[in-house]
């Protein structure tokens, strides 16, 4: 199906083109002014934030401010975390290696207020009590180096082994909670997660690593990075992993077939290629990822214990960016990008229901291609205003979906719509006084499919010494995606072409308190209201479809205390409590734990050489689709990490689920299982050498 542009949408695009040119005019003028003034300028130009300091701090406060980390994704420029209009959590490369995280999902599982689930095919992210069955992480925006990773058909933000990033290449992860459509548009519904990768200078040579873990899992990586005397900086890396998975998984729901045993049906293989090249103000980044997973759960009514059930995901992206800070406090960022997502799923079905092979192999195919451009300008005005203005255009020129039986051939779906949008955004960070800042912004997106939507964000931030109070309000939206609108199969899904965007309003109070120079306490109270939630639903013929049927109200609180000392000790304790209810049905949401408790501790055993790390996570019970509960569980992990005992070598070891806790996650609408059991005790060891 081809979506045509109406005259009205063309007129709207012209208006936004005019706005974009208006935004560009100051940039051109500033650039010309800088060229004239370059000869008269002596010495390096200080950053915008240094020029903008309006208050004097000294002694203990100055030391504290130097130690407070910065975040980029909250405002599209670097700012101290206590200045950002959101609740911020940062996970660093040092924490990743000491806690032994091997997947992106494990990193996110450690974050206060976040939780993950896994259906033995994909990983799913829950935030503040929300993780709907059948949702492919569409309500959190995932970025890698500020590049959007949610695809253009499913809107999926991958977090498991399907995520296109090797965790060893991560410099830090910025978790920014709260609606952020005022800067990022769709998918920034509950928050933004920005993965900042390492640079060439962080490696200063080559690295090779190898690791082995449970279920005959082996992984290797080869990376090279450096910054050269001519100003060129580069990083290249390749990774591979192969896992046999569980040899036997038991599902009583299929006891009539092979005694409910899925044999050799849990294999997981993937590889990544990543590159980053920087010269002057220009940066080129890109990546390619391929992953194949066998699926043991017989989801979607497929034949149980048939190892032809597998999914393959490929993800490719290129991002070319320019960023320059001019002499008069004008920072300009421009980027051009291209993305591709390809998917294939093979599903064996017994259409006749006789239980006798040969069974029909049904094949799902998806290919999405899109490109886009973005221009952002940030400038300090009148000492107390920091203005950010930008415009973005994205053309999703291929959103192909197909579903057919392989033999005998029969096509159920072949759809290839295309869509585009153009957006403009404006934000002002206004220092009303030396201690009070007002952050106000909005973004308007206009889609070729459903029209326009405007989403604001307002934050009042007050800082007095070591105490910061934030009052926040924000709106966000999520546009319906082609999978929700147009996907259809003969016996599982039907189309939902009339979907509208879902919307959220969030109110939040945040208090941050620094105790001394090394401890930070963070507390937040929030409420969000969702209207027109797009929900996977069963019709009277037992077919799945999507509809704007639910309104959700959620209230919660999160409390975190974290500390880090020069001696190497580090830790964090957090507690999150929330209640999320469906307003129409007046009941708790499924897969929504009311309590999350997390503890993280790093202990130096030999100074700067050997560390032990402990991690504990408690998750309360969750309602399943059948109205039962998935049992609460507590997971304890233990890691050892050594460095510089031998020059250039690092050795890591990790035990996950140390006490062999039995637990599971609620299944989705496509699963016969009410609860999908997860792994018991597992281990891995890793050796890395840098040369």
DSSP-assigned letters across all residues of 212-236 = EETTTEEEEEEEEEEE-TTSEEEEE
Distances (CA, A) of 334 to 282, 286, 569: 10, 16, 41
Q: For residues 204 and 223, is the Cβ–Cβ distance under 8 A?
A: no
What's the CATH code, domain 7-690? 2.40.170.20
Q: What is the DSSP string of 427-464?
A: EEEEE-SSSEEEEEEEEEEEETTTEEEEEEEEEEEEEE
Contacts of 132 (CB under 8 A, 6+ apart): 533, 535, 536, 589, 590, 591
In a 3-state reduction of DSSP, which class is residue 101?
coil
Expressed in angstroms, the distance from the first to the final Cα of the chain is 54
The tokens describing 341, both together, are 């997502």
Centroid of chain to Cα 396: 20
Q: What are phi and psi of 109, to 5 degrees?
A: -65, -25
Q: Rounded distance, CA 170 to CA 91, Å? A: 10
Evaluated on CA atoms 131, 135, 137, 138, the torsion sign reads negative
Q: What is the pLDDT of residue 595?
A: 97
Q: Rounded distance, CA 163 to CA 103, Å? A: 8
Please tell me the total number of residues recorded for the chain in this structure. 691
The tokens describing 345, both together, are 């799923």
Q: What is the pLDDT of residue 10?
A: 41
Q: What is the pLDDT of residue 344?
A: 97
- Computed on alpha carbons and rounded to an integer, the radius of gyration of the chain in Å comes to 25
Q: Which of 37-41, 77-81, 362-366, 624-628 has the lowest mean pLDDT?
A: 37-41
DSSP 632: P
pLDDT digits (tens, 9 = 90+) for 252-278: 999 999 999 999 999 999 999 999 999
Give the residues across from 223 on adjacent strands.
207, 237
Report residue 375's pLDDT band, with 50, 70 and 90 as the boundaries: very high
Tell whether the model's pLDDT for residue 550 goes beyond 70.
Answer: yes
Q: Which of 332-341, 419-428, 444-453, 540-549 has the lowest mean pLDDT?
A: 540-549
Tell whether the model's pLDDT for residue 390 goes beyond 90.
Answer: yes
Across the range 671-681, mean pLDDT stands at 95
pLDDT digits (tens, 9 = 90+) for 43-83: 333 343 433 343 444 444 444 455 788 999 999 999 999 99
Q: For residues 577 and 594, is the Cβ–Cβ distance under 8 A?
A: yes
Report residue 24's pLDDT band, with 50, 70 and 90 as the boundaries: very low
Q: What is the pLDDT of residue 42?
A: 36
Q: Rounded distance, CA 339 to CA 337, Å? A: 7
Kind and range of the H or E run holding 512: strand 502-515
Q: Rounded distance, CA 94 to CA 92, Å? A: 5
Distances (CA, A) of 160 to 103, 120, 156, 327, 675: 6, 10, 11, 43, 19
pTM of the complete model: 0.88
pLDDT digits (tens, 9 = 90+) for 82-131: 999 999 999 999 999 999 999 999 999 999 999 999 999 999 999 999 99
Q: What are phi and psi of 95, to 5 degrees?
A: -70, -40
Q: What is the pLDDT of residue 669?
A: 84
The tokens describing 515, both together, are 């105790």
∠ CA 189-425-172, rounded to 5°: 55
By the 10 Å C-beta count (0-12 exposed, 13-18 middle, 19+ buried), 318 is classed as middle
Q: What is the pLDDT of residue 11?
A: 36
Across the range 414-423, mean pLDDT stands at 94
Q: What is the pLDDT of residue 51?
A: 35
Quick one: which of 674, 18, 17 has its CA closest to 297? 674
Quick one: which of 613, 662, 593, 655 has its CA closest to 634? 662
Tell whether the model's pLDDT for residue 547 goes beyond 90.
Answer: no
The tokens describing 457, both together, are 């964000």
Mean residue pLDDT of the chain comes to 89
pLDDT digits (tens, 9 = 90+) for 604-635: 999 999 999 999 999 999 999 998 999 999 99
């Amino acid at each position: 199906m081809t979506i045509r542009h109406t005259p009205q949408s063309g007129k709207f695009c012209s208006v936004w083109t005019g706005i974009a040119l208006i935004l560009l005019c100051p940039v051109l003028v500033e650039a010309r002014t800088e060229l004239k003034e370059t000869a008269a300028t002596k010495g390096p130009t200080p950053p915008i934030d240094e020029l903008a300091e309006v208050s004097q701090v000294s002694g203990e406060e100055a030391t504290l401010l130097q130690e407070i980390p910065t975040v980029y994704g909250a405002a599209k420029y670097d700012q101290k975390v206590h200045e950002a209009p959101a609740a911020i959590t940062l996970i660093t490369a040092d924490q990743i290696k000491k806690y032994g995280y091997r997947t992106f999902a494990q990193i996110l599982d450690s974050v206060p207020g976040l939780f993950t689930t896994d259906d033995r095919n994909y990983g799913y992210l829950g935030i503040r009590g929300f993780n709907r069955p059948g949702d492919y992480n569409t309500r959190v925006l995932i970025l890698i180096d500020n590049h959007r990773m949610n695809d253009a058909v499913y809107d999926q933000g991958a977090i498991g082994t399907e995520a296109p990033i090797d965790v060893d290449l991560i410099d830090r992860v910025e978790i920014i909670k709260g609606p952020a459509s005022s800067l990022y548009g769709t998918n920034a519904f509950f928050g933004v997660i920005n993965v900042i990768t390492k640079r060439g200078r962080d490696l200063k040579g080559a690295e090779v690593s190898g690791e082995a873990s449970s279920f005959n899992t082996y992984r290797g990586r080869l990376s090279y990075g450096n910054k050269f005397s001519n100003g060129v900086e580069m990083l290249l890396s390749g990774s591979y992993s192969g896992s046999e998975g569980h040899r036997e998984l038991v599902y009583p729901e299929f006891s009539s077939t092979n005694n409910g045993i899925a044999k050799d049906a849990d294999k997981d293989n993937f590889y990544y290629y990543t590159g980053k090249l920087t010269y002057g103000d220009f940066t080129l980044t890109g990546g390619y990822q391929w992953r194949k997973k066998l699926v043991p759960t017989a989801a979607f009514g497929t034949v149980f214990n048939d190892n032809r059930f597998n999914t393959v995901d490929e993800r490719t992206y290129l991002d070319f960016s320019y960023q320059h800070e001019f002499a008069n406090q004008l920072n300009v960022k421009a980027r051009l990008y291209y993305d591709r997502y390809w998917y294939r799923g093979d599903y064996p079905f017994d259409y006749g229901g006789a239980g006798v092979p040969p069974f029909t192999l049904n094949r799902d195919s998806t290919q999405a291609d899109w490109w886009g451009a973005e221009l952002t300008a940030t400038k300090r005005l009148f000492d107390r205003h920091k203005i950010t203005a930008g415009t973005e255009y994205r053309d999703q020129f291929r959103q192909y979906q197909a579903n057919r039986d392989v033999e005998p051939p029969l096509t159920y779906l072949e759809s290839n719509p295309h869509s585009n949008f153009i957006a403009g955004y404006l934000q002002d960070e206004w220092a009303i006084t030396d201690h009070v800042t007002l952050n106000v912004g909005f973004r308007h997106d206009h889609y070729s499919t459903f029209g326009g939507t405007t989403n604001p964000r307002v934050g009042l931030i007050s800082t007095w010494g070591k105490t910061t109070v934030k009052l926040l309000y924000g709106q966000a939206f999520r546009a319906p995606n082609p999978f929700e609108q147009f996907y259809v199969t003969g016996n599982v899904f039907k189309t939902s072409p009339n979907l509208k965007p879902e919307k959220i309003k969030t109110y939040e109070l945040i208090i941050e308190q620094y105790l001394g120079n090394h401890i930070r306490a963070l507390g937040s109270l929030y409420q969000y209201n969702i209207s027109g939630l797009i929900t996977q639903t069963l019709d009277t013929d037992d077919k799945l479809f999507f509809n704007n049927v639910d309104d959700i109200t959620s209230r919660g609180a999160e409390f975190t205390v974290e500390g880090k000392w020069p001696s190497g000790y580090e830790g964090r304790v957090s507690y999150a409590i929330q209640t999320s209810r469906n307003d129409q049905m007046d009941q708790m949401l499924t897969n929504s734990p009311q309590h999350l408790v997390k503890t993280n501790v790093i202990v130096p055993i030999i100074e700067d050489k050997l560390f032990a790390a402990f991690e504990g996570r408690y998750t309360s019970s969750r309602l399943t689709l059948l109205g039962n509960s998935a049992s609460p569980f507590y997971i304890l992990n233990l890691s050892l990490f050594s460095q510089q005992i031998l020059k250039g070598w690092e050795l890591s070891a990790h035990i996950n689920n140390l006490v062999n806790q039995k637990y599971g996650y609620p299944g989705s609408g496509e699963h016969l299982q009410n609860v999908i059991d997860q792994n018991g005790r597992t281990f891995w060891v890793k050796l890395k050498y840098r040369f």
